[in-house]
Amino acid sequence: MRGKNNFYKLFRSKNGNISDNLIINPDIKAYITSYAPETLSVTKVKKNNIFNKAGRISFRAQLNGVPIKIYEAANSNHALFIANISSSKEISFYFPSILYSAGRHLFAKWIDGDTPASFPIEEHFNLLEKIHDIPIESLPDPEFDYWYDFIKPRFKRACELFGEQDLGDEVIKEVSQSWSSNPGFLSHPDLTIHNMIRSCDDGHIFIIDNELLSVGHLPLLDFCNAFKSCSHDELQKVFAMWMEKYGLLDKYDLSILSAAWFARLVGSAFISGNFNKAISLIIQYKKDIYNILPFKIIR
């Protein structure tokens, strides 16, 4: 889809009514209905699809001639939570400004730029640490939980279809017990270099794709997500940095991390339709739960 595409063209059928086949979310439908199509127009839709890999609405648009990104949180409370983080004095330097929200949808400043060709591993590690260190006591309840609302349902469904209910129930029980008993922290569970952009204006690094921001309870799960695509040597280096700061993990903590990471990988493979990968991960986990982790454990 090229050029500017009016919302009428993208979302409306020939009789002028909003097409239920193309847009099913009531919040965005109400917003489109109430807003003049001349004011808000779509400029870029990836592969003619307004949904990202997480199944959330995400696309580029223009509002009063200004480029913006519209993306979807889990609910209206979660949208307010993300907006609060994006304006936090401790971390707002790294987040595109949120102009406003409508229901669960956020309207953010569009950042022109490219994925960084490289990002020093130390800076990447420090950025994740900065996010984890932001106080969460004054933040609104996001009413969205990365484990219970995102990873667990995907993983549970995958295990049901692959005939691995017992394994799934065991993993869910172990991770849920640990998750619920651990203290909370601000979590960005997808802080990969591919979700960063270097601004064309001043070279500043911004974090994009922030729809999974929430309160987490397993800091190293964010670590696995953030650095999973790094080289082996980089992974070992940054894991050593983590261990130097926080100390060695005991066997129980490692097993919980492995179980949570396993659930995350299987759920993602299942949702993407890569069933062979999901089954391969299950076989691998059954052989050795620790080999599922992106970094090597010396035992």
Q: Quickly tell me which residue has 């990447």 as its tokens.
A: 124
**pLDDT digits over 23-38, tens only?**
434 555 555 445 434 4
Average pLDDT over residues 259-284: 96
Domains of the chain in sequence order: 5-110 (3.30.200), 121-292 (3.90.1200.10)
Longest dimension (CA), the chain: 66
Confidence of residue 44 (pLDDT cuts 50, 70, 90): low
Smallest CA-to-CA distance from 108 within 136, 140, 138, 85 is with 85
**pLDDT digits over 70-118, tens only?**
888 999 999 999 999 998 888 888 999 998 888 888 889 888 888 887 7
pTM to 2 decimals?
0.83
Give the pLDDT confidence score for residue 39 in this predicted structure: 53
For residue 68 the two structure tokens come to 């913006």
The residue that leads in pLDDT, 299 or 129, is: 129
Separation CA 152–CA 150 (nearest Å): 6
Asked if 211 and 72 count as a contact pair (C-beta separation under 8 A), the reply is: yes
User: Which of 14-18, 167-171, 208-212 has the weakest average pLDDT?
Assistant: 14-18
For residue 200 the two structure tokens come to 């064309």
Residue type, 200: C
Give the pLDDT confidence score for residue 298 in this predicted structure: 62
Confidence check: pLDDT of 281 > 60: yes
